[in-house]
Homo-oligomer: A and B are copies of this chain.
């Protein structure tokens, strides 16, 4: 029997305990022994929980109990979670997490510490929730040179955009609805400003290209600027607006990483990933494009990915998974505004002015409420587009 401690009894942490109980039979068959939650560490009281006997507020009990081999960190944030993760690893315990902020910020250091101690630090649930993506990238696509990874990485913003597209709700209405349904926090900034997607695309970049990407250096634009006018103009061109994190290998070396709303053609499979679902596309030089789709958040889906990592760590208690990346080499992260693509522009211009500034363009059938036109340009870099003058909206187009 392997003993596990769960740090943080919030949505994901309580889901982990639930999945371990509910699927105990399958887990035991797979691992070859039972997994038992010995402690649940949380600063809050849960007197009515059936697991009250396992609750403690004192992390040092976990730290000092040699029976605990695996620690699940579902506290979130990069404060106390960072400290407890380090102390757990230093105490000889493998750590499993769903904490994208911590992995994006301190993954390099924590993976280094895990390697030094011959322990596992696993984080499948940190990107894409329950969707398998970390292992497929590191194992199944290992024979590929990965050239691009991009996707819908945040369910809250995808829900809001889907409501705007399918039901004509305004951004504000859709956000309120998302909050009422529990899809968005009362303070939704990390979602709607793109921070959450930024952390995830940073982790995917770390894994796909083997060098650390500092999320603070990733150009990040959320969806607060996307209007119903944009949704309508995009639709009249045959496109849908989705918030993407995107990371591209540059031919001259290095990569570019950014988060921004994009226009996707309705014929592209990713444009059909709706509601709170996530979809992540990976392009390899042998495989071409593959896509991974599923629930990117939520209690049980996320917990199922955490528990799969716990099982993996239990099976590999003597042999760590060789997963990790290096510090960034000089010039690894290149300016994303150098990347070329078609662009969607909505601006107060006459058609003649648009063509004079942007060259050959394709005009949307719709105009916005103020009568401003919208159009798609030919392929241009961000720098070229910004040099063409002011616009109400400027979004890249993904052709797929």
- Which residues in chain A, 176-208, are within 8 Å of chain B measured between CB atoms? none
Which residues from B are CB-within-8-Å of A223? none
* Closest chain B residue to A305, Cβ basis: B140
- The answer to whether B290 and A294 touch across the interface, beta carbons within 8 angstroms, is yes
Q: Mark A351-394, 1 if CB is under 8 A from B, else 0.
A: 00000000000000000000000000000000000000000000
Which of A49-57, A129-137, A255-263 interfaces with chain B? A129-137
Copies in the complex: 2
- Which residues in chain A, 283-341, are within 8 Å of chain B measured between CB atoms? 284-295, 298, 300-301, 303-308, 310-312, 315, 319, 322
Within the complex, which residue of B143, B273, B306, B310 is in contact with A304, where a contact is CB–CB below 8 Å?
Answer: B143
Which of A25-33, A40-48, A59-67, A75-83 interfaces with chain B? A25-33
Question: A230: shortest Cβ distance to chain B, in Å?
Answer: 23
What is the total number of residues of chain A having a CB less than 8 Å from a CB of chain B?
53
Which residues from B are CB-within-8-Å of A294? 287-291
- The answer to whether B130 and A136 touch across the interface, beta carbons within 8 angstroms, is no
- Which residues in chain A, 1-53, are within 8 Å of chain B measured between CB atoms? 15, 19-20, 22-23, 26-27, 29-30
A141 at the interface (CB under 8 A from B): yes
- The answer to whether A308 and B141 touch across the interface, beta carbons within 8 angstroms, is yes
- The answer to whether A312 and B139 touch across the interface, beta carbons within 8 angstroms, is yes
Question: A136: shortest Cβ distance to chain B, in Å?
Answer: 4
A124 at the interface (CB under 8 A from B): yes
Which residues from B are CB-within-8-Å of A130? 286-288, 290
A144 at the interface (CB under 8 A from B): yes
Which residues from B are CB-within-8-Å of A305? 140, 143, 287
Which residues from B are CB-within-8-Å of A284? 304
Which residues from B are CB-within-8-Å of A225? none
Which residues from B are CB-within-8-Å of A135? 132, 135-136, 139-140
Which residues from B are CB-within-8-Å of A285? 22-23
Question: A33: shortest Cβ distance to chain B, in Å?
Answer: 13
